[in-house]
Structure 1
Amino acid sequence: MSAHDITLTAADGFEFPAYVVEPEGTPRGAIVVLQEIFGVNSHIRSVAEGYAAEGYLAVAPATFSRAQTGVQLGYTGPDMQEGVRLKAAVEALPAPGVLQDIQAAVSYAAKAGKVGIVGYCWGGLLVWRSAAQVQGLSAAVAYYGGGMTVGSEPERKPLVPTIAHFGEKDGHISVESVKAFEAAHPEVKVYLYEADHGFNCDQRGSYDAPAAKLAKERSLAFFKQHIG
């Protein structure tokens, strides 16, 4: 594998970085990896590397770039506060906002074949929006997407096969809202784990190794089915 940073250009001319990991040999397709509220940090880079190790071209766009560049936060209280602030700044952008940056990442990734998208926390919400609005996707996987089960978000209609992972102990996303989302979207496969928010991240206290392993296995099987 080889990893490097590149610069992508959105439709409005905005330039922003992305972390790219090339797999060994010919890619079987591509996976766009969407960050949490902590930036394209060491964890998200390791996630991208993990998908490249499975044979995919992995592209992790820096989705905070319209608010602040070079964000790589940890998981302390102050990091959380900074991440919440940056997320709010990006969410406040006029439409299409950060979705045009995600579109640019998907368009770039398409050189490797079919493109899937996976995201965590805020990235999970962005995956849900992308599944309905971004062109060129073949599959979408959302991990504990904060906000996707409430308000007007469940009204979106994904245009590609989609699965969603949630934790039963997640204090940010109620099981009731997950159940309601599942009922409203029979086309989306919803998985619930006995785990907390952020269970996939081995740098967080909420990391749950069994849940992370099972969710990754399901995600890889899903991508193999729809991407290659």
Structure 2
Amino acid sequence: MGEYSSVSALEGDGQFDVYVARPSAKPRAAIIVIQEIFGVNEGIRRKCDNWAQQGYLALAPDLFWRDEPHVELDADIPEQFQTAIGHMQKLDQDSAIYDIEATIKAARAELGSGGKVGVVGYCLGGRLTFMAACRTDGDAFVGYYGVGIDNLLGEQHAIGKPVLLHIPTADGFVPPEAQKKMHDGLQDNRHVTLHDYEGLDHGFAAEMGVRRDEQAAQLADKRTADFFAAHL
């Protein structure tokens, strides 16, 4: 359904590719889909295609382009999982936020005057989505099992738009003490809503592969769809 398009980096250091899925009619809004550590792989492209089927313009920027463009890795293959961690460790997250901001601007340009843009991210993308809520002008933000958000709470004063976070309680990458810090630190922020998923692990809403928990993924995705419908 989708195709790749190029977007100029805000830092002036080149162009990066964005997977774009367009609805059959005029978009109701746009949604930026932020990748896991596995790149803009088939699972991320499917998520874009699903949003397009729901009437949204969906864009997934290739955030690893400065290291290696068009990374596509499989979370279920151990060697590829390790390769993905290597790409994640090389990523300059501040530059990634600039790339997300550039993608938001590209989406607004295509939508025209008054068009709203949401951001949804997974794993690394969940963390970057929280950072984007603090640093960009997106209109609504959803993070799935974001890693290290507990270390970003000092930025939350800059959040001015609605944020939704999905937190699996048995996340191997976000221990209970980090989850408690998130709940305690964000409970008084009127812009932020947190949903816990008891006993579930990281990656439960992956579009494909062994990590997916079908019932929980459908629940989280329904909450996300309702959230975007209310705020975009």
Corresponding residue for 2:98? 100
Please give the secondary structure, in 2, of the residue aligned with 1:159: coil
**What TM-score, normalized by structure 2, do the two folds share?**
0.91
Give the deviation of 1:3 after TM superposition: 1.4
Q: Does the aligned pair in 2 maintain the 1:198–1:204 contact within 8 Å?
A: no
What root-mean-square deviation, in Å, do the aligned CA atoms of Structure 1 and Structure 2 show? 1.3
The 2-side partners of 1:15 and 1:85 are apart by 22
Q: Does the aligned pair in 1 maintain the 2:133–2:161 contact within 8 Å?
A: yes
* Aligned equivalent of 1:220, options 215, 225, 229: 225
Corresponding residue for 2:142? 141
Please give the secondary structure, in 2, of the residue aligned with 1:191: strand
Q: Residue type of the partner of 2:155?
A: R
Q: Report the number of matched residues.
A: 220
The 2-side partners of 1:98 and 1:29 are apart by 22
The 2-side partners of 1:26 and 1:203 are apart by 29
The 2-side partners of 1:105 and 1:116 are apart by 11
Task: Report matched runs for 1:117-136 at 5 Å.
Answer: 117-135=119-137
Runs of 4+ in structure 1 displaced over 4 angstroms? none
Corresponding residue for 1:62? 62
**What TM-score, normalized by structure 1, do the two folds share?**
0.93
Corresponding residue for 2:164? 163
* Aligned equivalent of 1:205, options 202, 210, 213: 210
The 1-side partners of 2:86 and 2:174 are apart by 19
Flag structure 2 segments of 5+ consecutive residues without an equivalent: none
Give the deviation of 1:211 after TM superposition: 0.8
Flag structure 1 segments of 5+ consecutive residues without an equivalent: none
Q: Does the aligned pair in 1 maintain the 2:44–2:207 contact within 8 Å?
A: no
Give the deviation of 1:68 after TM superposition: 0.9
The 2-side partners of 1:156 and 1:217 are apart by 28
Q: Residue type of the partner of 1:3?
A: G
Q: Does the aligned pair in 1 maintain the 2:34–2:61 contact within 8 Å?
A: yes
After TM superposition, the structure 1 stretch with the greater mean CA deviation from structure 2, 114-123 or 165-174, is 165-174
Task: Report matched runs for 1:73-112 at 5 Å.
Answer: 73-75=73-75, 76-91=77-92, 96-110=94-108, 111-112=110-111
Alignment of 1:35 with 2:11, yes or no, is no
